[in-house]
């Protein structure tokens, strides 16, 4: 599935044809909710300046763009899945550790997580070959995008001796070019000369977020704090609230997004942000 509609249809087929939970929310863990925020930038817009630059100056960023893109489309997938009975029966009883083996043995159809979780799912049972990792189901003008970025980096002590620096260099080159760790951890190869990966993202364009423009390095943090939305910064409770309202049927998705837009607007006004998008 490459669009929200196609993804929801796939979840319905899982429900109709199997006994598996189509989409497992991992609501109870809390921190797992943050995965949804991670997809509103590159994945949902195809624009690597969106998250750290344009989002800050966008009027009503959580509005419906009408084409299955942008933050609205990301969060609506979750709301629609829960409202449509395509998730676990009781979101409050989800179990993060248990979900790994449940996915491995086919009791769960899919979960929304970063690629770091892929090897944990493979190691949780005997069915590693049955597990895959797909791009987030949003297409922008027919194209899919995914975020790529470094995890931890290697540092060499500037005060090390020349021999120690040379030894460190040899180790880093072996680790990144010969060890196979990126393949084993289901990541992208570090070395440009390698294409060895388990990820089937051959028709996906990888983007790396551009940093904030000069002078606005702290603006996103300020807007997050003022709005209390904490987008991609530990704002897990707002994602949990989507699940709660969808399950209870006590607030529409559009009403939730309107509330978020108002909070963002108030924060922009508080910080004196110029609206350019």
Q: What is the CATH number of the domain that holds 64?
A: 3.40.190.10
**Where is pLDDT greater, at 90 or 188?**
90
pLDDT tier for residue 54 given thresholds of 50, 70 and 90: very high
pLDDT tier for residue 170 given thresholds of 50, 70 and 90: very high
* Predicted pLDDT at 182: 79
* Predicted pLDDT at 184: 77
Q: What percent of the chain has pLDDT over 70?
A: 99
* Predicted pLDDT at 191: 73
**Mean pLDDT along residues 15-36:** 98
Residue 95 in any domain: the answer is yes
Within 13 A of 200's CA, how many CA atoms are on the CB side? 4
**Tokens 């300020």 belong to which residue?**
222
Residue 35 in any domain: the answer is yes
**Mean pLDDT along residues 251-258:** 99
Q: Is the pTM of this model over 0.85?
A: yes
* Predicted pLDDT at 262: 99
* Predicted pLDDT at 179: 86
Residue 185 in any domain: the answer is no
Q: Which residues on adjacent β-strands are paired with residue 206?
A: 146
Residue 94 in any domain: the answer is yes
What mean pLDDT is reported for the chain? 95
* Predicted pLDDT at 153: 82
Which helix or strand (DSSP H or E) is residue 274 part of? none
**Mean pLDDT along residues 8-20:** 98
**Mean pLDDT along residues 100-110:** 98
**Where is pLDDT greater, at 206 or 11?**
11
Domain count, the chain: 1
127-165 pLDDT tens trace: 999 999 999 999 999 999 999 887 778 889 999 999 999
Alpha-carbon torsion, ordered 170, 172, 175, 176, to 10 deg: -120
**Mean pLDDT along residues 242-262:** 99
Contact (CB, 8 A) for 34 and 236: yes
Kindly report which listed range (117-126, 153-162, 185-194) carries the lowest average pLDDT score. 185-194
Kindly report which listed range (86-95, 123-132, 191-200, 262-271) carries the lowest average pLDDT score. 191-200
pLDDT tier for residue 188 given thresholds of 50, 70 and 90: confident
Tokens of 247: 């399950």
Is 53 buried (19+), middle (13-18) or exposed (0-12) by CB count in 10 A? buried
Residue 104 in any domain: the answer is yes
26/79 Cα distance (integer angstroms) = 14
Residue 197 has pLDDT above 90, yes or no: no
Contact (CB, 8 A) for 56 and 216: yes
CB neighbours (10 Å) of residue 125?
16
**Mean pLDDT along residues 184-189:** 76
Domain that holds residue 139: 4-149+199-271
Tokens of 64: 């419906």
First vs last C-alpha separation in the chain: 29
* Predicted pLDDT at 190: 77
Residue 189 in any domain: the answer is no
Residue 203 in any domain: the answer is yes
Residue 44 in any domain: the answer is yes
Sign of the dihedral through C-alpha 122, 123, 127, 129:
positive
């Amino acid at each position: 599935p490459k669009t929200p509609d196609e993804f929801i249809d796939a979840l319905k087929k899982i429900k109709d044809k199997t006994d598996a939970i189509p989409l497992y929310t991992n609501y109870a863990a809390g921190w797992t909710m943050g995965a949804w925020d991670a997809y509103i930038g590159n994945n949902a817009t195809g624009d690597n300046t969106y998250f750290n630059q344009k989002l800050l100056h966008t009027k009503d960023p959580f509005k419906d763009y009408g084409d299955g893109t942008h933050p609205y489309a990301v969060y609506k997938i979750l709301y629609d899945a829960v409202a449509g009975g395509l998730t676990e029966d009781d979101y409050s009883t989800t179990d993060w550790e248990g979900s790994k083996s449940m996915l491995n043995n086919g009791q769960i159809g899919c979960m929304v997580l970063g690629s770091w979780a892929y090897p944990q799912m493979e190691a949780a049972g005997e069915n590693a070959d049955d597990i895959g990792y797909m791009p987030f189901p949003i297409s922008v003008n027919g194209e899919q995008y995914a975020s790529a970025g470094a995890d931890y980096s290697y540092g060499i002590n500037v005060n090390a001796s020349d021999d120690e620096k040379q030894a460190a260099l040899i180790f880093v080159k072996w680790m990144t070019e010969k060890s196979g760790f990126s393949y084993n951890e289901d990541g992208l190869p570090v070395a440009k000369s390698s294409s060895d990966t388990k990820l089937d993202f051959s028709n996906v364009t990888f983007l790396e977020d551009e940093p904030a423009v000069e002078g606005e390095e702290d603006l996103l943090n300020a807007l997050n704090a003022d709005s209390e939305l904490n987008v991609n910064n530990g704002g897990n409770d707002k994602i949990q609230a989507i699940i709660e309202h969808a399950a209870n049927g006590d607030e529409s998705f559009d009403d939730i997004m309107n509330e978020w837009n108002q909070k963002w607007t108030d924060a922009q006004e508080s910080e004196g942000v110029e609206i350019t998008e």
